[in-house]
Amino acid sequence: MGIFKGPNITTRADKISSFTVATAEYGSPVLEILGTTRISGNVLYYDDFTAHEHRETHRTGKGGGGKQTTITYSYTVAVIIGLCEGEVKNIGKVWIDKSVYTYPHSDIQLTLFKGTASQAPWGYVTSKHPEKALSYPNLAYMAGVIDLGSGGSMPNFNFEVIGKLTNTGDGKDVNPADYIKYVLDKVGLSGIEIVGLDNYRAYCKAADLLISTPSDSTEARTAREIVNEIAELTNAYMFWSNDAFKIVPREDRQVGSWKPNKTILYDLTPDDFLPQSGGACVTYSRKDSSELYNRFSVEFLNRENGYEKETVSYEDTADIALYGVKQASTINAHYVYTKARAVMLAEAAARKNKYERNKYTFVLGWAFCRLEPGDLVTLTAPSLGLERVPVIIDSVVEGTDGKLTFTAISRPPADYGEAEFDVHENERPYIDFNLDPGSISTPSIFQPDTSLMYGDNEVWIGAYGENQYWGGCNVWASNNNTGYKLIGTINQGARIGYLVKDMSETDTELEVSINSQLISGTLEDAEKGNTLLWMNGESMSYTTATLLENGNFLLSGIIRGQYNTTPIKHYAKTQITRCDDALIRCNFLYSDIGQQIYFKFTSFNVLMGNEQSLADVPYYTRVIQKRDVRPPDITALECTRLSTGTRQFWWTFKYPTPNDIDGFELRYNQGSNVTWDTGIPLHTGLITEQPFETEALRQGVHTIMIKAVDNTGNYSKGVASVIANLGDPLEENVLYKANASENVWSNCTHTGATNAEGNLMSSSDSYYWPDSNTPMWTKADALHWSESYKYFELSFQVLAPASGQMWLKYDIEGPCEIEYRLVGKDGYWMDEKTPFWEGNESWASWVDSKEMLKPYTGKSMVNAGDTIQVFIKAPNNVSEPTIIKELTLIIDVPDRQEHFEDITVPLSGLLLPIATPNYYTTAVRIDAVQNSNIAVARAAVINRNPCMIKLVDINGQPVSATVDVTWQGFVKEVI
C-alpha cells in the first residue's frame, strides 16, 4: 500500500444552455386530413428544457490510488407538436429520425390529443405552468416530455395520422365521393344537391379508387381546385347545371357490380345539325400519331414504403415493339397511396389515349338543351363517313344567338341501345321566337347629384316591361325627335313605383306601390346609400322594408337629403326609383345642356327577339341640366432623373368618356408634405403630354404632386404624389462658402424670427381663449393657438470672389420658394425711391431691369465680382411654418497647389513663398517631417493672404521643425 493517495480527477462535459427547434413555423395553414397520411407536425409549445447530471466514478492506480470522475449531461424538454384539424381517429406509425414505431409505444414519449371541441389542456402544463395551459380545441396534437439524450436538439418526428372519413373507404382511405361532399360542405355548400353522387360513390368503391389528403399539401387551396383535381384523377365530369352540381363517371367498362351508362339520348343526323362556318355540319380533329403514347407513368405516395414518392408505369407492349417507347407526361397522383391503384390510373390513362383520339364539334338548337357533359349520343354525317358513331359530350357552350356548340369525344365499340329521345319529324318541339314583348311602363329618367356620377352631364335611366315575355329594351335618344341614336340597353327591369301618401320634409317613413320586391337593410346600409331611392330631386335611403297586406311596402328608418340634396315635401303619385344596377347611365355633351332630349324604348322578348320598331313606341322627354363632375384621379406618378440632371415625370391616368380633360398640373412642396394648396407650381399653363421634363427643382427632399384639370377648370379630387430626394451637389475642388446663419442671421434681412434652436422661421398669427368656457378650451395653460403663419421673406447676397459654379446648401422645412439672380458690376440704386433699395451701403448695387429672378434649381456659373442675391419666400396664411435651419452659399472654383520641401518653420511661424498671384488660401497640408524626434500634428494657418503658417503638436502647442508642405488655394480675381 502506498503512503500517499493518488489525485482525484474530474472530467465534466460541456453543458448545453439552449434548446434547438427545427420544426416550428409561424403562420402556416392548419392541414385537415381526410383519410390517412404522413405529416411532420409543427411545434406549438416547448418549456422546461432541463439538464440532468450523470456522474461515473472509478479508482485509478494501485493501493490508495486516486479517483476518476466523469460528469455528463442528458436533457429533457416538454413539447406540444400540432398535427392537423381535429377530430382524428388515431395515430398509426411514428418515425423518430431513422427509427419507426407503432403508436402507442414507450419510446415515442408522446400522447395523442385527438382534437375534440371539448378536449382539456395537457395535464403537465396545467400542473407546472397553469398560466400557459391551453386546450387547443379542434386541433389534434401530440404532447409529452422528450428525452433528448446528450444533445440539445429535438429529433425529427413524423406521424401517420388516421384522419376523417376513413369509414367511407377501407378504414385508411376515403371514397372520393365523400371527399368531394365534405369539401363542398366545408365551404358552405351543404344545401346544394350533387346529382349522380351515389352512382359516383358506387363506381369509386367498385374500382377501388380510394384517396387520402396528399402529405405534401402544405399550401391553402380553393375548393374548386381540390374538387376539379379529384374529378380528373378519378375520370369523372363534375359541373354545375340547373341549380345543382352534377358528377358523371366517364368509365365505359363494367367494374365489379357497377355498370357504366350506355344510354344513347339522341341519334343525331344532318337534319339536327346547324351549319358551322363553311357550311360543315360536323367538324372533327384527330390526335397526331406523335401524341399516341404507349407508356404512361403515375407518381404516387407509397404507404408501404414510408409514404415515399414512387412511380409506376403501364406499357402497351405491342405498340412499343412496333414504334418504340413514346413516354407520356407523368401523372401526379399524390392522393393515391397504393401501388395497385396507381397502376389502375396508368391503365385508365392509356385507354383514354387510345379510344378518345377523335374529337367532334357540332352545333345544335335549343331543342337539344337537355344535353350535358357525360351524355351519350350518336353522330351520323355521310360526308365524313360517320354512321351512328357513339360519342360522349365533353363540353357545351351557349352562344349569344341561342345556339349550342358541343364538343364530343369518341367512345370504344360497345353494345348501345336505341336512342331515348326522338326529335325528328313531327315530334320535334317548336319554339316560338316571336313572342310579343309588350311595351314598357313609364320609365324613370333623372340626373342625380354629381357625387353619384362617373361622368359629366350623366342621366340615369330605368324601365320595366308590362308583359310576361318582356326581356329588356334598347334605349334611343334624339335632340329633334327625328334621328335617333342607340345610347344603351336595359337587360333587367328596374324597381319603379309611386308614393301612396303625401310625405312631409321631416317624415322618415313612406308607403310605396312598386313593381318588385324591396329588401330590408341595416342602419349602416342606409347611411352608406346601399338602399338608395330617388324621388323628385331628393336622394334618400331606407332601413326596413315591410310588405303590407295590400301589396305595398312600408319603408321606415329613412335617411333624408343624401348626396347634397335637400329634404322636400313629396305628394302622392310621385314616382320613386330604386337606384341599383338595373339603371343605365348615359353621358351627354356640354352642347346638349339646356336642350330637350327625346328618349324612346324598343322592347324585345325573353329570347332577345321580336324587337319593337321605333315608329311604334312613344317618346319621353328630359331637359339636360349641367352636371360637372370632377376629373378622375391620377393613379400613379413617377420621377426619373436623366444624366443631364433633367427630371422626367410620368403618370398613369384613365381618360373619362366623353373626354373633357384639358391637361395636368404639377406642384411641389419642400419635404414630405402632401398638401396641394401649399404646393408651388412647377410650370405655367397646363401639361398635355408626358413625360414632363423640368430642371426647376432644387436639391433636397421634395414632394411632387399632380392633378388632372378639365375644360371647366375642375381639378381631380385626389392627388397623386412622389417623394424625391434630389440630394446636395458634390463639393468639388477648393470651396468658397458664405453662411447666412452666422451672427444670428444678421448677414441677411428677413421678416421672420429665430426660435430656441437658433433656426429662422416664419411668424404666426396667435389667438387666445379668455377662459375655460370658450369653445376648444382644453386646460388651464392652453392660452393660445396658432391659426396660420404670415408671409415670410429672406434676402441674402454675396459678392463672388472668383469665377466658378455657385450652389446653395440648405435645410428648410415647410412651404417656400427659392429664387436668385446675379447682379453685375454696373448698376446702382441711387436713393431710397429705387426699387429694392434696403437703406444701407451693402445694398448699393442692383441688377439691370432685364435680369429677372429665377427659380433656384442647382449649380450655375458666376463671375468674379458678381453680386449673388438669394430670396426665400413663403406664402401668407398657411397652416405650416417655414423653418430655415441652414443656408450656405458655396462657389466651386478651380484649385491651385504648390509644394515646398525641407522648409524650416520656427516657433513664431513662417510666411510661405507662394508664387500664385492674388491668391486665397484654403488649406495647408504637412507631407513629411524631417525631424523624426519632433511630434508635429498639423499646420495651422495664421493668415491666408499672404499665407503664414505655424506648426503645432497634438496639444495645440507651437513647435519648430523642418517639413515638406503642400499649399492649396485659388486665384482671387481682381474685382
Cβ count near 600 (within 10 Å): 21
Peptide bond into 429 cis (omega under 30): no
For residue 343, pLDDT over 90 is answered with yes
Q: Say if CB 796 and CB 750 are below 8 A apart.
A: no
* More confident call, 891 vs 622: 622
Lowest mean pLDDT, pick from 3-7, 724-728, 927-931: 3-7
Judge residue 265's burial from the number of C-beta atoms within 10 Å of its C-beta, 0-12 exposed, 13-18 middle, 19 or more buried.
middle
Reading the block at residue 108, the C-alpha cell is 415515442
Q: Residue 152 — pLDDT band, cuts 50, 70, 90? A: confident
Judged by phi (left if over 0) then psi (alpha if -120 to 50, else beta), residue 561 lies in left
Cα-atom radius of gyration of the chain, to the nearest Å?
A: 45
Whether the predicted pLDDT of 415 surpasses 60 = yes
pTM for the structure as a whole: 0.47
Task: Count Cβ atoms below 10 Å from residue 907 Cβ, excluding itself.
Answer: 10
The tens digit of pLDDT for each residue in 469-517 reads 999 999 999 999 988 999 999 999 999 999 999 999 999 999 999 999 9
Least reliable range by pLDDT among 118-122, 622-626, 813-817? 813-817
Residue 774 has pLDDT above 60, yes or no: no
Q: How far apart are CA 738 and CA 799, in angstroms?
A: 10
Phi, psi of 524 (to 5 degrees): -65, -40
* Direct distance between the N- and C-terminal alpha carbons of the chain, in angstroms, rounded to an integer: 111
Pairing of strands 376-381, 264-268: parallel
107 confidence band (pLDDT: 50, 70, 90) = very high
On the question of pLDDT at 871 being above 70, the answer is yes
- Give the pLDDT of residue 892: 79
At 220, list the grid cell. 391553402
Helix axes 223-233, 176-186, angle to 10 degrees: 170
User: Which of the listed ranges 284-298, 385-399, 445-459 does the model predict with the highest average pLDDT?
Assistant: 385-399
The H or E element containing residue 891 is strand 883-893
Q: Which residues contact 222 (CB under 8 A, 6 or more apart)?
A: none
Q: Average per-residue pLDDT in the chain? A: 85
776: left (phi over 0), alpha (psi -120 to 50) or beta: left
How far is the C-alpha of 721 from the C-alpha of 676, rounded, in Å?
10
Binned at pLDDT 50, 70 and 90, residue 39 comes out as very high
Taking residues 895-920, what's their average pLDDT? 89
Confidence of residue 845 (pLDDT cuts 50, 70, 90): very low
User: Residue 122: how many CA atoms within 13 Å on its side-chain side?
Assistant: 27
Please give the torsion angle defined by the CA atoms of residues 74, 77, 83 and 85, in that order, rounded to the nearest 10 degrees.
Answer: 170
User: Rounded to an integer, what distance in angstroms lies between the CA atom of residue 628 and that of residue 634?
Assistant: 18
Neighbours of 228 (CB within 10 A): 12
pLDDT score at 805: 81
In the chain, the percentage of residues whose pLDDT exceeds 70 is 87
Rounded Cα–Cα distance for residues 359 and 353 (Å): 12
How does pLDDT run across 635-679, given as a tens digit for each residue? 999 888 776 667 889 899 988 877 888 999 999 887 777 888 878
CA–CA distance, 952 with 959 (Å, rounded to integer):
5
